[in-house]
Amino acid sequence: MATSQDPSAPEATALATPSEPVRKSNPIKRALLWVAALSTAAVVALVAGVVVLFLLLGMLISKGLPDWANPFDSTTTMSSQKPLELSLRDLAEYHGAVGTYQVVVQREMRMKHLPSFIAGEKITIMANGSVDGIVDFTNLGKDKVVIDQAARTAVITLPKPRLGATNLDMDKSQVLDVDRGLFTRAMDAIQENPLQDQDIYQEASRKLAEAATGSDILQRTEDNTRKMLTELAQSLGFTSVTVNFV
């Protein structure tokens, strides 16, 4: 028997429901995240540890540490200065003053029986040079340096100053005038450096030494030497210093 179907009844339609995708975890990515987290934590812990260490070290130093445990502890070594006698012997020779001088020297040479315009020479030079005033310390014995340690006084006996060698300044010395006879000029044309005669410069050195002797350079040498020794002795702790020149 045939079954009739109601045309008005809705037809059953099979609808397929889509299924949700299944998420799978990535083990490599998860491991990298763990490594990053651990690294950050380690850096933070290290910085915090260093800060705490310096704070503790500062507190310990402020309270005082034994010498062996304090890396910032300093040691001061005191060294005594040399005695006054040794300091004086080290001087050997003291140039207490320098004098600068200028002299005019003239040399005239003539030949017998001949007029100066024929044979002869007249040279005038202006010489500049210096001379030092010197005090000798080489023979300074204990009897020349009398020291009272209790009273902190010193008496020093030195030889009188002397003049040093004359230092002729050739660069500043000059020829002022030259007058030669005809025959002398002819001879000079043959010779080399006719004006470089040692005689006139030796005379200039002698004149400079005379000028130094007549000046106050020796007195200034005494005064400067006395001042230098007084300051030296005072720097070594002496309160009274007497310097004699004999």
| pLDDT given at position 87 | 66
CA torsion, ordered 188, 193, 198, 200, to nearest 10 deg: 60
| DSSP notation for 155-182 | EEEEPPPEE---EEEEEEEEEEEEEE-H
Predicted confidence (pLDDT) per residue in 113-141, tens digit: 555 556 567 788 999 999 999 999 888 87
Taking each helix axis from N to C terminus, what angle separates 217-235 and 84-91, rounded to the nearest 10 degrees?
140
Predicted confidence (pLDDT) per residue in 175-216, tens digit: 888 776 554 554 554 455 444 567 888 999 999 999 999 999
pTM above 0.85, yes or no: no
Highest mean pLDDT among 27-31, 85-89, 115-119, 155-159: 155-159
